[in-house]
Structure 1
Amino acid sequence: MKCIIGLGNPGPKYENTRHNVGFMVIDELLRRHNWKLDKEKYKAQYTVEHVGSEKVLLMKPLTYMNLSGEAIRPLMEYYNLSIDDIVIIYDDLDLPPGKIRLRKKGGHGGHNGIRSTIDQLGTKEFPRLRFGIGRPEGPMPVPDYVLGSFQKENVPVIKESIERAADACDSWMEHSFAEVMNEFNQ
């Protein structure tokens, strides 16, 4: 089984914020496969589907971003998933808006959802898809920036990148993470 986890904050207030690009990629995968998050357990909404002979679990934590690991770890344990069975999608201030980067491991880079995940899993060596949101211009505090919506001029590139990130996830359902990295980290 492979597990694709999109990080974000639950609720309509946060729906179209930069911090929720992980949720947006999950939503795109649900849309294109006509799937629904029909299960809820361990502070997460999820579904288990089949792609060819592979089982795929799509997940959105229902915790707020800073506690994401509290939803991820118990669901991984319940389904007996290893670190190599997951990929976590999250926003990244250090990449330009819309740029995606896949990595097999890394630190939290100040991202509290990834910090929580590292703390809960006891390792920073898990596959991830970083989704660029850029940094705020001027004196805007980072929390206000990540909880704000994308600038109008960035919306087309963000939509295109959400599709590209979903393409990478679709590819991972059938190929190794290394192959997906080679294809999508161009």
Structure 2
Amino acid sequence: MIVGLSNPKKKYHNTRHNIGSWYIYALSKHLNKLLREEKKFFGFTTSINIYSNNIRLFVPNIFMNINGSAVYQIAKFYNIHLNEILVVHDDLDLESGKLKLKYSYGHSGHNGLRSIINNFNNKTNFYRFRIGIGRPKDKKEISSFVLSEPIAKEIDLINISIQNAIKETYILLSNIA
């Protein structure tokens, strides 16, 4: 399963904190797939096939700090193990447009990751794409920063990193096929 962390779509879709969902929508568009709302999972989902891997795409449509409950619920329903999940999320510690792939690492203060780790009994053995959004100069502004829309230059850089993440997804999946 590939999960794009997010806050509720209507109000927060264009914010920095929803970059994980931007990735999922870009990947589904690339594959000509539409996500549909699944109320029982509190999010939007579709299935795709890459290199004979059947993959569920998922965007939670609940607040970031409880995304883990939705991820856990859909993973349990489809019998998807934590180490079979790739989580895509925004990252304050990377400049806008930077991308890093990690495996089995802590939450680094990210509430969506913290929620996933808590819901999976404090386990961290999952993949993640960290997409950089930069960091405000004043630590007191972090909440308003992640819940605001990036400027045009940042959007361009973020979209490039999302396209690179899609390419990296194919590489990652080719190694496990």
Quick check: TM above 0.5? Answer: yes
Q: Letter of the aligned partner of 2:145 in structure 1? A: Y
**Total equivalences in the alignment:** 175
Aligned partner of 2:165 in structure 1 is 165
Aligned partner of 1:75 in structure 2 is 74
TM-aligned CA distance change 1:127 to 1:76, over 3 Å: same
CA distance in 2, matches of 1:169, 1:156: 20
TM superposition shift of 1:70: 0.7
TM superposition shift of 1:140: 5.4
5+ residue gaps, structure 2: none
Aligned partner of 1:84 in structure 2 is 83
> How high is the sequence identity, in percent, across the aligned residues?
35
Query: Which is further off, 131-140 or 75-84?
Result: 131-140
Q: Letter of the aligned partner of 2:128 in structure 1? A: R
Length-normalised TM-score, structure 2: 0.92
3-state DSSP of counterpart to 1:45: strand
Length-normalised TM-score, structure 1: 0.87
Q: Letter of the aligned partner of 2:120 in structure 1? A: L
CA distance in 1, matches of 2:7, 2:65: 9
> Is 2:156 aligned against 1:134?
no
> Is 2:110 aligned against 1:111?
yes
Aligned partner of 1:45 in structure 2 is 44
CA distance in 2, matches of 1:36, 1:121: 28
Q: Letter of the aligned partner of 1:156 in structure 2? A: D
CA distance in 1, matches of 2:29, 2:81: 27
3-state DSSP of counterpart to 1:68: helix
Tell me if structure 1 keeps the 8 A contact 2:131–2:158.
Answer: no
Q: In angstroms, what is the RMSD of aligned CA positions?
A: 1.7
Query: Which is further off, 50-59 or 29-38?
Result: 50-59
TM superposition shift of 1:82: 1.2
TM superposition shift of 1:172: 2.8
After TM superposition, what 4+ stretches of structure 1 lie above 4 angstroms from structure 2?
none
Aligned partner of 1:180 in structure 2 is none
Tell me if structure 1 keeps the 8 A contact 2:4–2:89.
Answer: yes
Query: Which is further off, 23-32 or 46-55?
Result: 46-55
Tell me if structure 1 keeps the 8 A contact 2:27–2:166.
Answer: yes
- Return the match for 1:26 from 24, 32, 36: 24
TM-aligned CA distance change 1:52 to 1:138, over 3 Å: closer
TM-aligned CA distance change 1:103 to 1:13, over 3 Å: same
